[in-house]
Structure 1
């Protein structure tokens, strides 16, 4: 019979779609994971994964094994975590999937303090802007905004409770091209657009005194959200007007390399939430993280 460690390795590879990605996410080595999967296939006498140079996909037998293994291993983890609750300090790994903005704006103020308070917890954070099924992908929790949450998820406020998107440009750009007085004036400017991975460039939304204006940006540069730093540097260099989280741009306002644009039109929206599945009790590392963030947020 295959042992639990090898079965867990097989499940990690299947979820990641490859040995290298699974090793990068969960630690260890690709060769070690490959050997573990080989042992499982040898013990069962069935091929579980189709391997190509570009991807790893489950066979029919592998897919059925995954569907049965996932809840079984989750139940084992829950049983072991129950014992973890009797420790003075929880231990284990906490896996989070978060937006890139969260990893830049407010998690740096939380993560080091959390790890100092819980030295036996290992934190694994994947920062990406594409929507991910955290249960299917093997994460304990995620951070998203309310419009991206599924109904069977439990949501806990984390980070700033109100945020704004801000428009900004280099003073030199505004001196050369003029300062927009209304969001519609942006149609005559070079706008530095951004989009989520695999998505389209979304409209820029502004609001003042109940009036909402949507502007479809057009300009010389569009980046996926992971390339936001490039867009900021292009704005600083005078390439055009950028539209991004106010908190992300605030240091550049303070240094003077960027100037606010249409500030009276910046629209406020609710802050993000830490969310996790409500179908089972959260593991001890996640409970500790939830309690810790709540204490930080308390007045």
Structure 2
């Protein structure tokens, strides 16, 4: 037989205070509400729990036995609820994120160090996958994807740079040997390094934009790599002078700064909107994810 937790607390308050008025002063409930709660509990249990007189209230034998068992039990419940308060006020646990390779490379490195320093009791697990995944089925709390790959029933929060560009580049030695393109169509005469998603879709259609003009070029070249784990090889091959590469500008910036790669057709680099952190909106947000959302919303560590 189940009893309402509120009714049990009301009964215990009245018994401890020795009356309904005294319990009302300490519990924040009215005397009439307490009386109704005790009557409801007695009706559900089928036994009288309190002797009532005009001047005092005292437990019956059944009531005394219930108090004896109820006090420690409700104390455990309160301790459990206090533990939940600790999770809320000082979040701990595990935050599981599902992100594409580019997010692991150019988005999270500027965010996670500050977040982990601010929340040392939260462990972060990052699953790197370039295909679209069901984050709930994969056991993750949230994911990072670009706008065109977000599910409609997800809550999306901007994360990382709000505008990015697709950059084209090649090694100076390759450009000295094969010439520097001045127009996107010049790439038809160049070796271009491309990738393939797990779905089989290839990245051999490069898009450029300048002054409102958009040009799409179907490129060809000697190398196709699996996107994700194979991108490092594609960059290494570009640095080695094997052809032209097209990738996120932020990803290639260190190679521009070192001189290993030279920007190509920079006036034609096409901008696009940055990534989003997304999560299901139909359930309570776990404390580690809530802490992460608050961190990026307040601009934590360059988020």
For normalisation by structure 1, the TM-score amounts to 0.70
5+ long unaligned stretches in structure 1: 1-78
Pick closer, same or farther for the CA change 1:239–1:84 going to 2, 3 Å.
farther
Residue matched to 1:211 = 213
Distance across 1 between alignment mates of 2:232 and 2:82? 39
Pick closer, same or farther for the CA change 1:223–1:276 going to 2, 3 Å.
same
Distance across 2 between alignment mates of 1:81 and 1:278? 26
Give 3-state SS (helix, strand or coil) of 1:242's partner: strand
Distance across 2 between alignment mates of 1:81 and 1:138? 27
Superposition map of 1:59-78 within 5 A: none
Cα shift at 1:81? 11
Give 3-state SS (helix, strand or coil) of 1:97's partner: strand
**1:141 counterpart = 2:114:** no
Residue matched to 2:273 = 270
**1:281 counterpart = 2:284:** yes
Distance across 1 between alignment mates of 2:194 and 2:82? 45
Give 3-state SS (helix, strand or coil) of 1:134's partner: coil
Distance across 2 between alignment mates of 1:244 and 1:87? 40
RMSD between superposed Cα atoms in Å: 2.0
Distance across 1 between alignment mates of 2:100 and 2:254? 20
Pick closer, same or farther for the CA change 1:82–1:286 going to 2, 3 Å.
farther
Superposition map of 1:29-40 within 5 A: none
Give 3-state SS (helix, strand or coil) of 2:137's partner: helix
Number of residue pairs aligned between Structure 1 and Structure 2: 221
Cα shift at 1:138? 1.5
Residue matched to 2:167 = 166
Cα shift at 1:136? 1.7
Give 3-state SS (helix, strand or coil) of 2:233's partner: helix
Residue matched to 1:131 = 132
**1:97–1:143 Cα contact (<8 Å) kept:** yes
Pick closer, same or farther for the CA change 1:146–1:80 going to 2, 3 Å.
farther
- 1:151-205 C-alpha deviation (Å, 9 max, x unpaired): 1000000000000000000111111111111111111110000122232213111
Pick closer, same or farther for the CA change 1:86–1:223 going to 2, 3 Å.
closer
**2:98–2:140 Cα contact (<8 Å) kept:** yes
Cα shift at 1:231? 0.6
Pick closer, same or farther for the CA change 1:115–1:292 going to 2, 3 Å.
same
Superposition map of 1:65-104 within 5 A: 83-84=84-85, 87-104=88-105
**1:93–1:121 Cα contact (<8 Å) kept:** yes
Residue matched to 1:14 = none
Distance across 1 between alignment mates of 2:252 and 2:145? 20
**1:235 counterpart = 2:238:** yes
Distance across 1 between alignment mates of 2:237 and 2:185? 22
**1:180–1:186 Cα contact (<8 Å) kept:** yes
Based on CA coordinates, which of the two structures has the bigger radius of gyration? 2
Cα shift at 1:116? 1.3
Give 3-state SS (helix, strand or coil) of 2:180's partner: coil
Residue matched to 1:254 = 257
Pick closer, same or farther for the CA change 1:216–1:257 going to 2, 3 Å.
same
